[in-house]
Structure 1
Amino acid sequence: MALLFCGMLLLLGGSDATSIADMDYGGVPLWINRLLGEPSVLSLQGRIDPGWFRANNPQACPKQCDCPIHWPTSVYCDHKGLEHIPDELPDRTEYLFLQGNNISSLPSSVLANITGLRWLILDNNQLQSDKLEQASLQNQTKLHYLFANQNHLTSVPSALPDGLRQLRLAHNNITSIGKGALQNLHNLTLLLLQGNRLQTIAQGDLKGLVSLNLLDLSGNRFSTVPRHLPPSVQQLYLSNNSLSGLDEDSFDGFLNLKYLRLSHCGLQSRGIHLHAFNHTSLVELDLSYNKLTTIPRVPTSLQYLYLEANEIQEFNVTSFCREVGLLSYSRMKILRLDGNKMSYNQLPPDWVYCLRVLQSIYV
């Protein structure tokens, strides 16, 4: 009954579950909980006549924005060609949508009368680091989601509220994080920094992120795996960096690393230490689109391995199993080797004893 009720709420919201999950907010979907009254992330543009809202909604609403009756705490000011955040935002505002405008600054006064802001979405604007006033966000104690993907930021904003759970800053011009900028964000679970210009992460940059689960550093300028990353991270994305190699201790310190993405990094077999992936917590490893000539050694606990589009010429059973026995075998479920320099006929006859629970193999 609860699932049926949730589905009804999705329909009333004007979109289905698939379209909500597929929305691109920095590459990671934003999941909506209708049972908590969270609004649609889809633009209202072209879906409902704004004049209808104004004629039937007794509550105040900025003239540049839309304030739907069925989400009374939401204010949609997205894709309006705005250069500034509208004045006199309703003090009831909890969800503020400002994506797709030309906003370059965030003055402290514009959010001063709002005390319950939960989401602030500023994607696809012209935000500049030197035009973000620290006090503008510092007092937003209930802010959980801050999205500023695809702007012109050169550093991570400082003085962020302690309650923040998601910070999405993908595809900016960020070259530094800044010591202390994130140190009080003990509740942050997701940090997106892909598509920036980071070359290194200093020792104190990510200190304090004790709850961080997903860290995306793809598409930056790292030449080695950055050190000083939070040990709580379970999903680490480093694709599209030019990594010189992987040392034995490149991923030491991670207590529960499960998903590791290293595609498009220019990795070569001779640059990967034999024990680089010696982490029994790993569930999925993506090494596709590199320059590997051999299959690296992986833990027997690994379930998903993506090696497509490399230069691999042979299949080594010892890469998956150091020994084969009643309880000694690989837990691999999906193995991709397509786009390499080998064929299915090159697989040794004993590979099935090692990969005995394999569900799919692509060669």
Structure 2
Amino acid sequence: MRTAVLLLLMGIVDLSIGQRYSQFQWLSHLRGRRRHAGWQAADVDCPLECDCPSTYPTAMYCHSRHLQHVPYVPSHIKYVYLQRNQITGIQDGVFDNATSLIWVVLFHNQLNSDKIGKNVFSKLKNLDRLLLDHNELTRVPPNLPKGITDLRLGHNKISKILSNSFEGMANLTTLHLQANDLEDVGGVFKGLKSLTALDMRKNKLRKIPDNLPGRLQQLYLEFNNIESVPTDFLKTYRKLQFVRLAHNKLTDKGIPSSVFNISTLVELDLSFNKLERIPVVSRNLENLYLQANKIKEFSLGSFCSTADITNFSNLKMLRLDANQISAKDIPAEAAYCLRQVAFIDV
């Protein structure tokens, strides 16, 4: 009986505290109780909705918690994980207390461009990675920090990019814009001096974007509506090593002679288009994907102008399946020209 009365009194005491305290004071009271219960100091300043393990004192894990808003972020946090929630908006000032943030992970939420403040990210001068893919964004958030190196905006509903969206972002090396509604991006990438990888798969592009950065090495443009390749495309962007143009509307007419005969190119994917001939490629090319086109003949001259002991292709992978040729169409001389090939699929 005494024990029951004591527990009741304890409950009454906690209830009275809850009535006297404001919302934030009540949360502080709960955190104080955690401190007395033996929680580490790093956990005390952690939102109740999240985990801040003492083994990773600068990380805050709030993923898959059914959150509808961004919780309070302590000033010492550098990595915040908010993916797989139901967050629809972010108000200005949410991150103002945590200006040391390096990573902000917000993919797989319900972010709406109209519900994101104009200066949400502007004070995060140390931000390196911003992951906003798989949301409901219709435009690139404004005033992004200039020091970001990895920006992910894929799988949204972006149909237009303002000319100043990436202005001053000279450190950006990786940009993901796949699976949006982009038809034309103009010259928005021109100032991205450090960009090496650009992913624009699954959009509505009718041409290869203009004014690509000179350091670009990887360009992914699969599943668009591109019909042609500019004549000096690879001469202009000489550092490109991986070019993927599968699932477009390319024809022989849209591919200028020798446009792909550039020594720096390592991988070229032209599969699932409407080509009838094998384009001329560099002897340094290692992987060529031409499956599911309308190719009618095997032209050895596309790989080697002459075939001898010193003049041969470095091609290792060649796919020609789902075309209008078979193994018997490959001439015997191919054994000299394509001596490095490990696999030919016809």
Deviation of 1:354 (Å): 1.2
Cα deviation 1:49-96 (Å, max 9, x = unaligned): xx9xx9643322101111122111111111111111013x21111110
Which of 80, 83, 89 matches 2:65?
Answer: 80
Q: Which residue of 2 aligns with 1:210?
A: 193
**Are 2:118 and 1:134 equivalent residues in the alignment?**
yes
**Structure 2 spans left out of the alignment, 5+ residues:** 1-33
Moved beyond 6 Å, runs of 4+: none
Deviation of 1:130 (Å): 2.3
Distance 2:230 2:174 in 1: 26
Deviation of 1:120 (Å): 0.3
Deviation of 1:278 (Å): 2.9
Distance 2:297 2:235 in 1: 29
Which of 83, 105, 108 matches 1:121?
Answer: 105
Distance 1:245 1:207 in 2: 21
Distance 1:216 1:55, change over 3 A: farther
Q: Which residue of 2 aligns with 1:8?
A: none
Other structure's SS at 1:109 match: coil
Q: Which residue of 1 aligns with 2:285?
A: 302
**Are 2:310 and 1:327 equivalent residues in the alignment?**
yes
**Are 2:294 and 1:311 equivalent residues in the alignment?**
yes
Distance 2:254 2:55 in 1: 57
Q: Which residue of 1 aligns with 2:20?
A: none
Distance 1:324 1:131, change over 3 A: same
**Structure 2 counterpart of 1:310, one-letter code:** N
Distance 2:340 2:309 in 1: 13
User: Contact between 2:298 and 2:330, CA under 8 Å: does it hold in 1?
Assistant: yes
Distance 1:232 1:274 in 2: 24
Distance 1:118 1:340 in 2: 49
Deviation of 1:135 (Å): 2.0
User: Contact between 1:266 and 1:291, CA under 8 Å: does it hold in 2?
Assistant: yes
The alignment-based identity, stated in percent, is 40
Alignment of 1:1-363 (within 5 A): 56-59=39-42, 60-87=45-72, 89-203=73-187, 205-363=188-346
User: Contact between 1:188 and 1:209, CA under 8 Å: does it hold in 2?
Assistant: yes
User: Contact between 1:225 and 1:250, CA under 8 Å: does it hold in 2?
Assistant: no
Other structure's SS at 2:60 match: strand
Distance 1:253 1:128 in 2: 37
Deviation of 1:251 (Å): 4.0
Distance 2:237 2:139 in 1: 26
**Structure 2 counterpart of 1:293, one-letter code:** E
**Structure 2 counterpart of 1:230, one-letter code:** P
Which one is further off, 269-278 or 328-337?
269-278
Deviation of 1:329 (Å): 1.7
How many residues align? The count is 309
User: Contact between 2:198 and 2:218, CA under 8 Å: does it hold in 1?
Assistant: yes
Other structure's SS at 2:236 match: coil
User: Contact between 1:61 and 1:67, CA under 8 Å: does it hold in 2?
Assistant: yes
Distance 1:106 1:251 in 2: 41
Distance 1:55 1:122 in 2: 31
Distance 1:55 1:275, change over 3 A: farther
Alpha-carbon RMSD: 1.7
Distance 1:55 1:216, change over 3 A: farther
Distance 2:171 2:200 in 1: 19
Deviation of 1:168 (Å): 0.4
Distance 1:250 1:176 in 2: 24
**Structure 2 counterpart of 1:104, one-letter code:** T
Distance 1:344 1:199 in 2: 39
Deviation of 1:138 (Å): 1.1
Other structure's SS at 1:167 match: strand
Distance 1:347 1:161 in 2: 54
User: Contact between 2:119 and 2:142, CA under 8 Å: does it hold in 1?
Assistant: no
Distance 1:55 1:308, change over 3 A: farther
User: Contact between 1:180 and 1:207, CA under 8 Å: does it hold in 2?
Assistant: no
Deviation of 1:252 (Å): 4.3
